[in-house]
Structure 1
Amino acid sequence: MGVGQAQSAVVIGAGIVGLTIALRLRQAGVRATLVDPAAVPASASYGNAGHIATEQVEPLASWATIRSAPRRLFAFGGALDVRDVVTFAPWMARFAHAASPAKFAAGRMALGGLLSRALPAWQALVDDIERPDLLHARGHTVLWQSPDVARRQRAAWMATDIGNTRVRDLAASELDAYDDLLSHRPAGGLRFSATGQVADVGEVMQALQASFVAAGGELLRARVATMAIERGRAIAVLEDGQRLGADIVLVAAGVASADLMAAFGPRPPLIAERGYHVQWPQHDWPSDMPPVVFEERSMIVTRFRGGLRAASFVEFARARTPADPRKWAALRRHVAALGLPVCGDGDTWMGARPTLPDYLPAIGRSQAASNLMYAFGHQHLGLTLAPVTSEIIAALVTGQEPPMSLAAFDLQRFHRNHGATHA
């Protein structure tokens, strides 16, 4: 059900999810204040691969993921690294529970419903801000170097639920096109359609922020220290003691959302699942090349206006654990081994994806306070799902029915047997 027409909103977190929500609310006539300490967020919103991954219908919380984990470990050359097993053991137990066949099937249906709306929501967003140049809906490619891997992984993809996405084999002539770009001709590959990419992640963030301000939205550069309830309503308390309230207070603060929501009940089981990238401003990669996944190396390469980015790794580490330089070195080795046409060492980044154990986001309204809402935990799909999430939240805030059921994204799913107060 809708929550009634709201006149004002405070959105905590100016990553891609919070930013698109704040913009949509302002466009709907809601007075919106967007609160974030960073002028340019350096979170997963900036560091991702820029891929609109509508093919990722099957949640990563699955028995297939568990079975493949040992061979994917960083110690054996893979992209998975658990740097603190003890800290993450409870979360991993929840992950295993969410991977049961019944829960996986339910998660796949819920995630598929979001992803089916993701690309149209992106198209509507860039059209509304009059920047259609920021979105390229031209699909992406998966390549394999080994014939054996090509046969095995092709079969795996053909058996995978990819929702509304379509896939076909790359023709020999298409594989030939990589001869001048790579050191070795790929053994095989797939071309996906109905996926896309943004032209440049940083430029998208700047354009959305500018549109929000131009529409009359307020940007507040401040850090929310904690949250509280006053007279049954949620408020945000800033580090300087200022207290912010509104008809709607929405938490969309990425990995920081767990600490903020803990003020209202059990702490959500949200972790910082970290990723790495290296970006080369100077390169000779074609401007019209869609994102390319080198699946054997668990690496995706995307051409942005600002450079060529290679991204990878799923690292489980505490939020304040220093970055691991070996990850950047591994990305550079992959790029060199493939013969990608880049110059220099490139610029490095590490950031944290906000991830819940079932690899579904948390989107909805809390029962802990009449005005409290949340939208976080989008894991690898934050960029992909930000616009459709903003449409859902805008519908709720303006008293309309959301375009789909939100039961699967309710935080209560983690606390039903623990006396939680979240809805």
Structure 2
Amino acid sequence: MMAFMTAPQNILVLGGGVVGLNLALQLLKEGKSVTLCDDGNAPVSASYGNAGHIAIEQVEPLASLATVRSAWRRLFIRGGALSLPPQGIGAWLPFSLRLLAAAAPRPFKSGKVALSEVIAKAMPAWQRRVADLEATDLLREDGHFVVWETPESAAKGLRSWRATDTGTASFREVTEAEKLQLSSLIHRNSTVKVHGAIRFEGTAQIADTKRLLETLQQRFIERGGKLIKARADKLSITGDGAAVLLSDGDWRTADAIIVSAGMGSKDLMEQAGLKVPMISERGYHIQSHDHQWPQGLPPVVFEDRSMIVTGFESGLRAASFVEFTRAGTAPDPRKWARLRKHVGELGLPFGGQGQEWIGTRPTLPDYLPAIGRVASVKNLYYAFGHQHLGLTLAAITGEIVADMIRSGEGPKPFDLARFN
């Protein structure tokens, strides 16, 4: 594509999560003057609270007929991870209808093509990013495990994964030594047994999400980026240009404004006249600093419980749940109780009750991200809505946005115009 004769040089990035930080660093690397606005609330963001899993195996959008068919079995009230709180029906019912439309064969097929192409580039992009950060130890390329607790679920789970496209990732049944190691995680007095397991190869984990965010921000400042500790409260369009009102009371504009503010992106973009049918999809975790998880063991997915357990430098984290509701709704303590029940029944080496966390994944109904520019506003761009793949796609999104700033053209499958 032909680059603009006057490509934007001064960039304002709204949102300092893992996506915003990656694209800000990439733009700095390309010689741009970059200012990043963030309210410093990283500990409650999905960028911090996720499972640390670089999930390049997830090339099939979750907006699928398979997801729709299995939804009733996955409901929280049936012991599953899917939660549809009654008080959130005004949010999740219209979202669900849009998801049903996106799950039809034709849109699912085109969505899978687009998602597969970008996920295939995700791991190389992360390899480039951690090298650029001079912190290659942040990326552990050791795959991950999926475990089943009954012969029936093991047989069914293995069949399901064999029928699933996993992109550039592959998997194999575990060796006897690996099965023994996984079995040793479960307390000998537990009635639970490991009846089957697979090991994915090609996937990875972040050694510690907190250190990743700190390192990204530190490098951004060291390399000349400007950080403003404020959130974007209002987006105003005057003529064909955009300006932003920050929570510190200042109005800001730039050659290019990039909205990458997670769930906050919805209000900002709708102020610019775009339709953004994004929902607050919440996840929960508990984390213990007192644990005996084997050092270096990759993440373990206990698929019968829809729970992933990850050992980080800062502690052992058990994460789960897909809760669709209105933004700002009070947490549901039953989710943390369920996680503790799972950990207790398994007898995992998890000390104490664990620190509780809840956070929001910004999710669009077709389970594809929103990356593009607003054609009618010369300086407005966006990159948000990465749902479960925010960490996975953060580094490659930075590179895509940098290319978009150079060329003026964004990736069409991820343009918000698809919802108009």
Q: TM-score, normalised by structure 2?
A: 0.96
Tell me which amino acid in the other structure corresponds to 1:130: E
- 1:16 aligned to which of 15, 18, 36: 18
Who is 1:149 aligned against?
153
Contact 1:285-1:341 within 8 A present in 2 as well: yes
Alignment correspondent of 1:370: 378
Q: Is the counterpart of residue 112 in structure 1 residue 107 in structure 2?
A: no
| Identity between Structure 1 and Structure 2 (%) | 50
Cα distance between partner residues in 1 of 2:315 and 2:247: 37
Give, in angstroms, the shift of residue 370 of structure 1. 0.7
- What stretches of structure 1 of length at least 5 have no aligned partner? 416-423
Among 95, 101, 105, which residue is 2:99 paired with? 95
Q: Which runs of 5+ in 2 are unaligned?
A: none
Question: Residue 13 of structure 1 contacts residue 252 of structure 1 at CA under 8 Å; is this kept in 2?
Answer: yes
The question of 1:70 aligning with 2:72 is answered yes
The question of 1:178 aligning with 2:175 is answered: no
TM-score by length of 1: 0.95
User: C-alpha distance in 2, partners of 1:239/1:34?
Assistant: 14
1:409 maps to amino acid: F
1:137 to 2:141 alignment: yes
Q: CA deviation at 1:320?
A: 1.1
Give the conservation status (yes or no) of the 8 Å contact 2:44–2:358. no
From 404, 410, 413, the equivalent of 1:408 is 413
Superimposed CA distance per residue, residues 321-375 of structure 1 (whole angstroms, 9 cap, x where no aligned partner):
1000100010011011111011111101001000000000000111130111000
Residue from 308, 313, 329 that aligns with 1:300: 308
Listed as ranges, the matches of 1:235-314 within 5 Å are 235-314=243-322
Which deviates further from its counterpart, 197-206 or 336-345? 336-345
Cα distance in 1 for residues equivalent to 2:74 and 2:308: 16
How many angstroms apart in 1 are the aligned matches of 2:164 and 2:302? 18
Alignment deviations for residues 299-322 of structure 1 (CA, whole Å, 9 cap, x no partner): 000000000000000001111110
Aligned partner of 1:91: which letter? F
Assess if the C-alpha contact under 8 Å between 2:286 and 2:317 holds in 1: yes
Residue 87 (structure 1) shift: 2.8
Q: Give the Å deviation of 1:401.
A: 7.6
Q: 2:206 aligns with which of 198, 209, 212?
A: 198
What is the letter of the counterpart of residue 50 of structure 2?
N
Structure 2 distance, partners of 1:43, 1:172, is 38
1:254·1:354 contact (CA, 8 Å) conserved in 2? yes
- Stretches of 4+ moved more than 6 A in 1? none
Match of 1:357 in 2: 365
3-state SS of 1:350 partner: strand
SS at match of 2:184: coil
Q: Tell me which residue corresponds to 2:50.
A: 48
**Equivalent residue in structure 2 for 1:380, among 379, 384, 388:** 388
CA distance in 2, matches of 1:114, 1:169: 27
Distance in 2 (CA, whole Å) between partners of 1:310 and 1:328 is 10
1:240 deviates by: 4.1
Look up the equivalent residue of 1:267 and give its one-letter code.
K
Contact 2:43–2:49 (CA under 8 A) maintained in structure 1: no
Question: Does structure 1 retain, via aligned residues, the 8 Å contact 2:45–2:360?
Answer: yes
Contact 2:274 2:416 in 1 (8 A): no
The aligned counterpart of 1:418 is: none
Distance verdict in 2 for CA 1:357–1:185, change over 3 Å: same
Per-residue CA distance 1:39-71 (angstroms, 9 max, x = gap)? 545211011000000000111001110110111
Distance in 2 of aligned mates of 1:363 and 1:99:
20
Aligned-partner residue type, residue 110 of structure 2: A
The 1:23–1:271 alpha-carbon spacing in structure 2 relative to 1, beyond 3 Å, is: same
1: CA distance between counterparts of 2:146 and 2:412? 33
Paired position in structure 1 for 2:344: 336
Q: In the alignment, is residue 221 of structure 1 matched against residue 229 of structure 2?
A: yes
Asked if structure 2 preserves the Cα contact closer than 8 Å seen for 1:12 and 1:250, the reply is: yes
Task: Flag the 1:108–1:373 CA change in 2: closer, same or farther, 3 A.
Answer: same
Report the CA distance between 1:173 and its aligned residue.
2.7
Matched residue of 1:57: which SS? coil
Matched, 1:207 2:212: no
Query: In structure 1, what residue type is equivalent to 2:138?
Result: L
Residue 79 of structure 1 corresponds to 81
Contact 2:372 2:409 in 1 (8 A): no
DSSP 3-state at the match of 1:408: helix
Partners of 2:32 and 2:238 in 1: CA distance: 22
Aligned residue for 2:131? Answer: 127
CA RMSD of aligned residues (A): 1.3
Q: CA deviation at 1:230?
A: 2.8
Contact map agreement 1:264 1:368 (CA 8 A) in 2: no
Decide whether aligned partners of structure 1 residues 87 and 401 sit closer, same or farther in structure 2, where only a CA change above 3 A counts: closer
Q: 1:29 to 1:41 in 2, by over 3 A?
A: farther
